[in-house]
Each structure stands twice: as structure tokens, then as C-alpha cells.
Amino acid sequence: MENQLTDFIINLQQIEFLAPKMNQGIGVIFVIHGELTVETNSRFYQLQEKDVLVINRNQIYQAKGSQQNHVLLLQISDQYMQQHYEAYPNSRFECFSGDVDMEKDAVINRIRKLLAELMIAYFRGGESYRIELQSFISEILLILIRRFKQKGRIQERIDTGDQRIRHIIHYMEENYQQKITLDDVADKFYLSSSYLSRYFKQKVGTGFNRYMMNIRLEHSVKELLYTTDSISHIAMNNGFPNVKSFVHYFKEVYKQTPKLYREENQETGMDTMKTYDLKDAVDIIQSSSIIGELGMLLTDSDMTFTSIETEAEELKLDIREVSPTKINRPIHNLAIGELSELLKEGVRLQILMAKKEIGLENISVRKLIGGSTFIPPVETDEIIATTSPYYNADFVLNFLRKHDLGLFIRIDYAEISSDEESYVRELQDFIKHCLNVYGTSYIEKWYFMFYEPSVTAVRVSELERVYLNLYRSLKTLVPKVRVGAFLPFSYKEEKTNKSHTWLIEKKLPIDFYGYEANQNEIIDFEELGDDRFSLAEGYIKEKTAKVKTYLKKHGRNQPISLISWNTLSGNTRFTNGTFFRGALVLKNALDLANEVDSIGFWINTEQHEKSGRDRKIRMEGLELFHFFSGKRPAYFAMQFFERLNGDIIARGSEYVMTKNDRGYQLVLMNINNVNPHFTIEETFLKKLNKEIRVTISGIEPGDYQIRKRVFDKDHGALYTKWWDLNSKYGMDEEVINYINETSKPSLELFDQTIDGDWSMYAYMSLNAIHFFDIRRAFH
């Protein structure tokens, strides 16, 4: 079939030999059947069946194939690439299927499938085949650009459209064995030496002498690997003035001597490459059997890779010389509403689950006095009462003490002020009872926080008086118990309001300060295109820093507790539910680890909503569980935080790496702060996906088992399966239990021998977390 395409050349060939030639444009070699050996850039590529290799612009390559092989060649012109991809002159694509790092197989399989479809469409023809070819080739190029792009080598960035520079370089390539100089070449092409020097640097990107040395080095490396000639003979044979000069340049480029390089890299059985009787032997094969083989590739392809929407990023970590830092973990407070909620078996089970998997120290409660926990007194004529108002409280406190859980008790001004004398008396009676039953050592671990919201009509002197009364009442009985106060704080104004300045200006005894942080404070959800959503990035960390600076300015150095917080979320149950936020939660928790004494969560959506005046979803706190014990993103994010152990040896805005007695851990995050309304649109979400190529230097050599956990919208998010199993007839217990059991991060295992740099790829969707446990294996 005659090729009539101008931008692309597509051939199905049987290749015995390909003579050395400079590649124009981008070439893709795909071995369908048999074997092919390709030499380029001083390296041999041994291609087996289904192997893919990309040849870059201006690369010189040659090939030798086995008998009866079937090879698909796709050539994309320089003109097409330059027209549609501005970065093309400075780019190259390092793509060989035999060298793919961990997790790259899915990408290669996608390329294989596209090449097979390309070949079938080309030979089948038809009225729309040209559009089909454009589609397949465009997707192949997008994958190469976003998955395999590297900075172009000098030869590949040369302006091949400049006829004179091509002739000059050709002359240098032909005469590199001679001792030619800049002056020699200038005379040859009727130029002055100074002009040639400037002209060459402008067109090629490097100086004349350096380029000449690169040519000589490239040829000398081949002789090192594929001949037994002495080092001195190789140096003189390739135009170097002496052995010393050759060794100097070689060490500068390859970081070792020619002798050591030869010993470490010389391969046996390849010497025949030097004796090739090279010639083109290209036979187009159009038999139905080959088309059938291509068809098989379509069904064999791994379709787990589907996204080409994002640019690839490089993350290079060198852990050989680092100063390890300890992982700090704030106290976790879990809000449940009233203490009586612990009478429910489901709540206790959730607490035990969270205690085991994410770590808990305190249960946060409200309405301790005057709520539903204490049994109301009953009239009786008994001399000694046979009932106790603390029966329910004792049941839950026994549960908490058994599992080493304390209390973080919020006491509102409104609770006390209704009958201050009665409230203080009941509170002291309860504390005395607890001291008698559980002992001082348990009670003195508790926290009591005085609370009055930012907007208040209460006089400052009254708030101050009531707080001091509460403080003294508690400290009289338990001197070491911690009594603090809530500090309303404005992110914009960087201060508290007038009604609460007494908390920092007066020298009052305050053991800790509580505060809240929620990005909804600065976001207007009605303006869908508002750039203010970018302000949410770093909001919690910045507000925490502002609170600490404000307190320090007033001479207050007490610990601070983040009692309620949230990542950027929607303003309705719909957008809040569909906006996956796993990485945002973990990122904020890591940022706060060294800044706060404790951090708070809500146990579940049901209790959180019940604490309000209505049943609308609450946005000021993070719940660990949804209804029916389904785990929310905050649960799994904090579970990853709990899994981190050892010392931190590398850290950035979207990654953390630790070293421990079992090996290493690496956490990757794809953090995005966007309007949650947009996250219901799948096309928009794809634009936020990210690929990261991680290369780590300094891992101790040895065998490792790598456990990879992925937490994203498809692996752990409740709403994904909730939507998949949606029915207008509702759900029953079987469906809900299935959703809860299957909504969890995925787990994969890899065996890896690491000796030198270790590389791998991670494909991450919006706010995804990838957790790698790199465990040393012992035989």
C-alpha cells in the first residue's frame, strides 16, 4: 500500500539490517514478532516481541534483525512536531519498554494498543482512516510528552533546518579522528573563527570545542565496549591529542575512568556489531496473519491506564546525607457530643476502631452538667439511696479508662450562667466522685475548656469573672488538671475581638488556648470562578502561625489546641460529599504536627449534625465516620499519619519520606484546592491528575518488599461506591455493609532488589495519597 501521508510515515517491515542514518523527526519502533537489535547513542537495545522504542530527532541509529521478524515503524516529521509542540526542539523522549520503572507497564500497554489500532486502520483504509490515524498518533504523542519527556541532548536540539550548520556538523562527524580545530573548520567554510564560534554556540547550544569532544567521546565509548584495543590506541584513534586529555574528558562526562567504565559495562557476544555489512532490507508485509497478530494485541492490552491529561513531574530525593527529624504527633481529641453517646454500642465500636488505627487520647464532650448523661435525682425516703446520678457516667468512664482515653470537656458560658452556683456545685460533686472512684492520676489528665463564641453580648468583666470561678473550682480539687479557654481569632484582622481581649491582655491563669480554622471563613462559594479559592492553600497552617504570633506578642506562650477545623469543602451536602479531600487532610495534619498540642475531630456525621440546631450538614469540623459507620476521608488520611514511623529524612510540600528499623516509608500527595462545585465534573477532574516520577538515591542496597497503598476517589471514597450502587428503591443493610467493607485504600505488593538509584512512577488523581512501605527483606 503506497504511503500518501505527508506528516507521518507508517511501515510494517521485515528488517534484517538498517544502515546508520540520522533520524529526522520522532521514530517509534514496535516489534510485533521476532527480535531486533538497535544501536543508538552508544547503547544497544535488545527488542523482543511487543517491545517499543522511541528514536529521537537527530539521533544516529542502526539495526540488525532476526529472520522473519515483523516490525512496525512510525515516523512523525519534524515539521509536524514543530508546528504542534513548541517545546519540541528542546525535548527528547526516553521510552524503551524494556527499561520501564515500576508501574510504567500500563502506559506502555496503552502505547502498544494505539500502535496496533494505528496499523490496522492504516492498512484497512476507508474514508475516515486519516482522521483515525491523527487520533491515534495524537494520543501517542501526548503520552510521550507527559510520561517520557526529558531535556533534549545537544544533537537533538540542533536546528536541522539550517543547511550550513548541518554541513559543518557533518564535516566534524566525518573528520573527528583528525586533529581539526575551530580555525580549520572556519577556513573550510569561509568564515572567521570568531564568527564561527558565536554562530556555532547560537545554533547548537554548546561551544565548538565541547561539541567536538562530545563526538570523539561518543565514538571512543563504542570502541571501549566493543573492541579490545588499548586505552591509548582508542584515544589516538578518536582524535584526542593524548591519553591524559582523553581520560580527563571521559571522567568529566562519565564520572569514572575509561578503564573502570569498560570493566563495568563491556558486554560479551556483541562484537559482531562492528562487522555489520549494513544495508537497508525493508520488505513491506501486508499479510492477513500480521494484521491478525496486531488484533491480538488489542485484546491483550492492559487498560488500567487511561489518563493522558496531566504533565509529568520529577521528584529526585537524595537521602545519603540528611539530618533526620523526629515525627511529632499531636494529641487527638474526638468529639462525640454528650458523654451519654458512649452508652451506644455503635459509638464505642467506632471509638475503639479509631483508637487502634489512628490513635486517640481524648474524647471531647459538651453539656457534661445539665445534659442527658447524669440520671435526674428521684424522691425517696431511703436513708441510703440505692440509685446514683452517675450510673451512666461510670459505665462510660470505666470504658474510657480501660482503653486509656481521657476527656476534653467544653464548658459554655451559657451553661454556667443559667445557675452558676448550682452548676459549679454539681461539677465539683462529679469531680469528687471521679476522684474517689478513679483516682487523681486519671482525672488530672483531663482538659476543661471555657467557651464563648466570637459574637457575644456578655460583658467582658462577666466573662472574666465566670472563667476565674470555673478555674479555681477545678484547680482546688485537681491542681494538675488543665483548664483553658477558647480564643476567637480573625484570620483577616490577625487578632481576637474586643469581647475576648481579656484572654490575652490580662495576666490570667490559662493553661491552654483553643481555636478553630475553616477555609469557608474566606471563601465565597457563589462565585464559581473566584480566584479566592487559591487562598485556601495553606490557610490552616497560616492561621495557626498567626494565632501563635499574636499570643507571643502579648507574652502568652501556652500550648494551643485546634479544636475544630476543616479542609476546603462545599457549602452543601452534595458538593461536600463529592469533593475528595484525602491529601488535603493529611497535608494539614502534617503541617500542624509541630505547631499544636492537640487536634480535634468529630466522630461521625450523625453526632455532628445532632450537635447543631438543625439537621443541615455541619462544615466546621471533620468527621471520621459517615452514617452507618462508613469511614470518611479524614479517617484514612489520619490512618496514614499513624502508619508513619521512624525519622523524617526528606520532606516537601507534597511528600514525606521516613527511615525506620524495617526500611523506609514514602508518602506522595497530589494536593489541589479548587472550588468543590467543579469536582462533580469528571472532565475537569482529569485536568488535576498528576504523574510523578520519583528517583531516590541512597537507599541501602538489598532486597525489599514494597507495599503500596492508594487512597483516592476510586479507592476508599464512600461516595464513589454509593453512586455506583444507587437505586431509586433505596438501599438495605446488605448494600450498605458492602459499601462500607469495600470502600478502603487499595494494597499492592512488589518485590524489588535495589542497588543504586531506585525509580518508580505514581499516577495520582485529585487529592490522592500514595503510601509506600519499603520494607527490607531477609532470606
Question: Is residue 230 domain-shared with residue 293, that is, in the same domain?
Answer: no
pLDDT at position 673 is 76
- Residue pair 402/342 in contact (Cβ under 8 Å)? The answer is no
Burial class (CB in 10 A: 0-12, 13-18, 19+), 550: middle
- Residue 618's CB: how many other CB atoms inside 10 A? 18
The band of 530, judged by pLDDT with boundaries at 50, 70 and 90, is very low
pLDDT of residue 269: 37
Same domain, 210 and 350: no
Are 621 and 600 spatial neighbours (Cβ–Cβ below 8 Å)?
yes
Q: State the average pLDDT over residues 683-692.
A: 70
User: Which H helix or E strand runs over 110?
Assistant: helix 105-124
Confidence at residue 224, expressed as pLDDT on a 0 to 100 scale? 78
Q: Which residue do the cell numbers 488520611 mark?
A: 637
Assess contact for 468 and 480: CB atoms under 8 A. no
pLDDT in tens, 445-495: 999 999 999 888 899 999 999 999 999 999 999 999 999 999 999 998 999
C-alpha cell at 384: 441510703
CB atoms within 10 A of CB 612: 11
% pLDDT > 70, the chain: 82
Closest CA to 644 of 280, 304, 329: 329
Report how far apart, in Å, the C-alpha atoms of 567 and of each of 112, 392, 513, 535 are.
Answer: 41, 35, 21, 12
Q: Are 632 and 366 in contact (CB under 8 A)?
A: no
Mean pLDDT of the region 545-569? 92
Question: Is 357 or 681 the better-scoring residue by pLDDT?
Answer: 357
Does residue 467 or residue 71 have the better pLDDT?
Answer: 467
Q: Report the pLDDT averaged over residues 35-53.
A: 85
Q: How confident is the model at residue 766 (pLDDT cuts 50, 70, 90)?
A: confident
Q: Are both 539 and 659 inside the same structural domain?
A: no
One domain for residues 358 and 479: yes
Structurally, the chain folds into a number of domains equal to: 4
9-13, 278-282, 565-569, range with the lowest pLDDT = 278-282
Determine, yes or no, domain membership for 1.
no
Query: What is d(CA 632, CA 625) in angstroms, rounded to the nearest whole number?
Result: 5
**Domain match, 393 and 432 both:** yes
Residue 268, pLDDT > 50, answer no
CB 766 within 8 A of CB 635: no
Same domain, residue pair 426 and 573: yes
Confidence band of 686 (pLDDT split at 50, 70, 90): low
Return the number of other C-beta atoms located less than 10 Å from residue 574's C-beta.
Answer: 14
- CA of residue 348 relative to chain centroid, distance: 34
Domain boundary among 592, 619, 643: 643
pLDDT at 308: 45
Cα three-residue angle 315-319-596, rounded to 5 degrees: 85
Residues 374, 304: one domain? no
Residues 443 and 304 in one domain: no
pLDDT in tens, 184-197: 989 988 889 889 88
Query: Is residue 301 very low, low, confident or very high in pLDDT (cuts 50, 70, 90)?
Result: very low
Residues 628 and 528 in one domain: yes
The CATH number of whichever domain residue 209 belongs to comes to 1.10.10.60
Specify if 375 maps to a domain: yes
- pTM as predicted: 0.67
Q: Which amino acid is at 644?
A: L
| pLDDT value of position 678 | 56
Give the burial class of 615: count Cβ atoms within 10 A of its Cβ; 0-12 exposed, 13-18 middle, 19 or more buried: exposed
Of 644, 641, 604, 607, the C-alpha closest to 625 is 604
Domain that holds residue 778: 310-327+644-779
- Distance CA(411)–CA(469), nearest Å, equals 13
Which has the higher per-residue pLDDT, 301 or 499? 499
pLDDT band at 703 (very low <50, low <70, confident <90, very high): very high
Question: Can you give the pLDDT at residue 307?
Answer: 47
Question: Which of 720 and 658 is assigned the larger pLDDT?
Answer: 658
**551 has a pLDDT exceeding 90:** yes
- At residue 416, the pLDDT reads 94
Task: Note the pLDDT of residue 274.
Answer: 26
Residue 126 lies in a domain: yes
Whether 257 shows a pLDDT value over 70: the answer reads yes
Domain match, 438 and 297 both: no
Q: What is the pLDDT of residue 223?
A: 75
**Is the model's pLDDT at 515 over the cut of 60?**
yes
65 pLDDT higher than 90? no
**What's the CATH number where 607 sits?**
3.20.20.80
The answer to whether the beta carbons of residues 314 and 695 sit under 8 Å apart is: yes
What whole-number distance in Å separates Cα of residue 308 and Cα of residue 494? 43
Tell which residue, 9, 8, 55, 6, has the closest CA to residue 29. 55
Question: If you average pLDDT over every residue of the chain, what do you get?
Answer: 83
pLDDT tens across 80-90, in order? 998 888 888 77
Q: What is the mean pLDDT of residues 53-79?
A: 85
Contact status, residue 590 vs residue 583, Cβ threshold 8 Å: no
Provide, rounded to the nearest whole percent, the portion of the chain with pLDDT above 90.
Answer: 41
Does the CA dihedral 502-507-509-511 come out positive or negative?
Answer: positive
Q: Which of 319-333, 366-380, 400-414, 647-661 has the lowest mean pLDDT?
A: 366-380
With bands split at pLDDT 50, 70 and 90, how would you rate the model's confidence at 297? low
| pLDDT of amino acid 462 | 94
Q: Is the predicted pLDDT of residue 594 greater than 70, yes or no?
A: yes
Q: pLDDT value at position 217? A: 84
**69: amino acid identity, one letter:** N
Whether residues 468 and 506 share a domain: the answer is yes
Q: What does the pLDDT read at residue 765?
A: 86
Taking phi first (over 0 means left), then psi (-120 to 50 degrees means alpha), and beta for anything else, what does residue 239 get? Answer: left
Task: Look at the block and give the residue holding cell 463529592.
Answer: 578
What local confidence, expressed as pLDDT, does residue 654 receive? 94
Beta bridge partners of 105: none
Residue 41 has pLDDT above 80, yes or no: no
CATH number at residue 137: 2.60.120.10
232 and 206 within one domain: yes
Does residue 294 surpass a pLDDT of 50?
yes
CB burial string 455-492: b at 16+ within 10 A, e below: ebeeebeebeebbeebbebbbebbeebbbbbbbbbebe
Mean pLDDT over residues 125-140, rounded? 86
Tell whether 749 is covered by a domain: yes
Residue 288 has pLDDT above 60, yes or no: no
pLDDT, residue 277, reads 30
Contact 648, 658 (CB under 8 A): yes
- pLDDT at position 575 is 56
Note whether residue 3 is domain-resident. no
HEC string of 699-766? Answer: CCCEEEEEEEEEEECCEECHHHHHHHCCCCCCCCHHHHHHHHHHCCCEEEEEEEEECCCEEEEEEECC
Confidence check: pLDDT of 252 > 90: no
Radius of gyration of the chain (CA): 35
Give mean pLDDT, residues 271-290. 36
Tens of pLDDT, residues 728-756: 787 788 888 888 888 899 999 989 899 88
Query: Is 2 part of any domain?
Result: no
Q: Give the pLDDT of residue 662.
A: 94
What would the pLDDT profile of 194-226 be if each residue is shown by its tens digit? Answer: 898 888 888 777 888 888 888 888 778 767 766
Q: How confident is the model at residue 26, as a pLDDT?
A: 93
